[in-house]
Amino acid sequence: MTLGEPIAAGQGSRAELSIDFDEGFDLGKLQRMLQDARDLAGSAGETVSTLNLVAIYFSQAAYERARPALETAARVHPCRMVVLIAEAKAEPPAASARVAAVRAAGTVALERIVLLARGRAVRHLESAMTGLLLPELPRVVVWGGRPEGPLFQHAMELGDRIVIDSGTRPLASLRAVAQLLARGAPIGDLAWARIFPWQGLAAELLDVPSLREHRSRLQSARVVCAGDVGAEGALLGGWFATRVKRAKVELAIGSAPEVDSPVPGGGDGPPGDAPMAAAPVTRGNVVELQFAAPPVTFTLRRERSILIAEVKGDDDGEVVNRVRLPPETPGRLLSIELKLLSGRDELYAEAAQAAARMDLTRWTSS
């Protein structure tokens, strides 16, 4: 057993313990390492956990991108975090573990166990993970791959809730997610959390006393995405379609994104030590939502870190409102999704299924 790298952004203990195995994981040694990590954290023995947070990735690079978001969210929601890294095609077969405990306000608020397996050692990950979970606490699974395959199905059976990020996957995969939701799958989605500001501002606009009269006359909506239509645009269109069932919803491609990559910072927060600011507009992000109740047109558009709402054609004249987007700190979206520890957000389930009913292969240009 050796001292490894410091835990990022942690409090209390700054060291983690590491150990190598031949292929399988020794659960007894892992439990002893966990106690040693608590001792290093300087805790008197009290540990606070509200959930088991299981995160599954298929490369060390994918985990490192997601790590700041995971650890920030884990400190907001004290937990035992078990990370599985399955590199099935890597050779030679090997297994290793890294363990750390982070103290906050005099108690251990985060226990982090990272299990890495290569080659045929991958088959031992599941049993090791199961033996490390805290009984009687909710199990939330963060899934870092495509929402498909036997392992994903097993993750859904294991978890009280499973969190994906459809914004980092091809748009067509949203249809598979919708099918799972239709069968009652307890799925949460970071892409859904990203469009909360758009939903909130649209609802706020339609609740202005002088504009409420137009709600019953809404006929159409148009969602514009940067460079390509992404899951967020489809979900926003699906959300509008479920709220205004008579409206015809259209998806459109707008101007080029500020950043071409669809997954800055692993999808939840800026990479590295980037300054706190609203996330840049990446490929597939929503840049405009327009809906109409003729002759009145409501337009929400993004200009850098500001959402601007305009209403034209109303008898009372033009209405303009501006809302600053929240700074994109690591883990902000995951922390939102962890407020629900079991089941699913029914509004999300309805929006995803409505989005899947759209033609996700054809859209217009803006």
For residues 79-86, average pLDDT: 96
Residue predicted with more confidence, 219 or 170: 219
Is the peptide bond prior to 280 cis by the omega test (within 30 degrees of 0)?
Answer: no
Q: Centre a 10 Å sphere on the Cβ of residue 253 and count the other Cβ atoms it contains.
A: 17
- pLDDT for position 80: 96
- Please, which residues have CB within 8 angstroms of residue 268's CB and are 6 or more apart in sequence? 66, 69, 165, 190, 330, 331, 332, 333, 334
For residues 172-192, average pLDDT: 94
Last residue of a domain, one of 97, 115, 137: 137
- pLDDT for position 141: 96
- pLDDT for position 264: 42
pLDDT at 97 over 50: yes
Number of domains in the chain: 2
In a domain, 171, yes or no: no
Residue 290 domain boundaries? 193-365
pLDDT at 45 over 80: no
H-helix or E-strand containing 155? Answer: helix 150-158
In a domain, 259, yes or no: yes
Q: Centre a 10 Å sphere on the Cβ of residue 272 and count the other Cβ atoms it contains.
A: 7
Q: Which of 40-54, 241-255, 258-272, 284-298 has the lowest mean pLDDT?
A: 258-272
Share the mean pLDDT of the chain.
88
In a domain, 239, yes or no: yes
* Co-location of 129 and 253 in the same domain: no
Residue predicted with more confidence, 344 or 355: 355
Q: How far apart are CA 219 and CA 208, in angstroms?
A: 19
* Co-location of 128 and 213 in the same domain: no
* Co-location of 117 and 198 in the same domain: no
- pLDDT for position 206: 94
For residues 271-276, average pLDDT: 55
- Phi, psi for 144 (deg, rounded to 5): -100, 15
In a domain, 159, yes or no: no
- Please, which residues have CB within 8 angstroms of residue 192's CB and are 6 or more apart in sequence? 235, 345, 348, 351, 352
Last residue of a domain, one of 137, 156, 176: 137
In a domain, 24, yes or no: yes
In a domain, 167, yes or no: no
With tokens 């748009």, the residue in question is 171
* Co-location of 203 and 331 in the same domain: yes
- For 292-347, the pLDDT digits (tens) are 999 999 999 999 899 999 999 988 778 889 999 988 777 999 999 999 999 889 99
* Co-location of 203 and 103 in the same domain: no
In a domain, 168, yes or no: no
In a domain, 164, yes or no: no
Q: How far apart are CA 34 and CA 114, in angstroms?
A: 11
For residues 261-280, average pLDDT: 60
Last residue of a domain, one of 137, 166, 185: 137
* Co-location of 208 and 311 in the same domain: yes
Confidence of residue 1 (pLDDT cuts 50, 70, 90): very low
Among residues 69, 94, 92, the alpha carbon closest in space to that of 81 is found at 69
Contact assessment for residue 223 and residue 358, using Cβ atoms and an 8 Å cutoff: no
Q: Centre a 10 Å sphere on the Cβ of residue 114 and count the other Cβ atoms it contains.
A: 22
* Co-location of 114 and 206 in the same domain: no
* Co-location of 97 and 245 in the same domain: no
* Co-location of 55 and 133 in the same domain: yes
* Co-location of 218 and 352 in the same domain: yes
* Co-location of 128 and 17 in the same domain: yes
* Co-location of 351 and 246 in the same domain: yes
What percent of the chain is predicted at pLDDT more than 70?
89
- pLDDT for position 152: 85
For residues 159-180, average pLDDT: 92
pTM of the model: 0.88
- pLDDT for position 13: 44
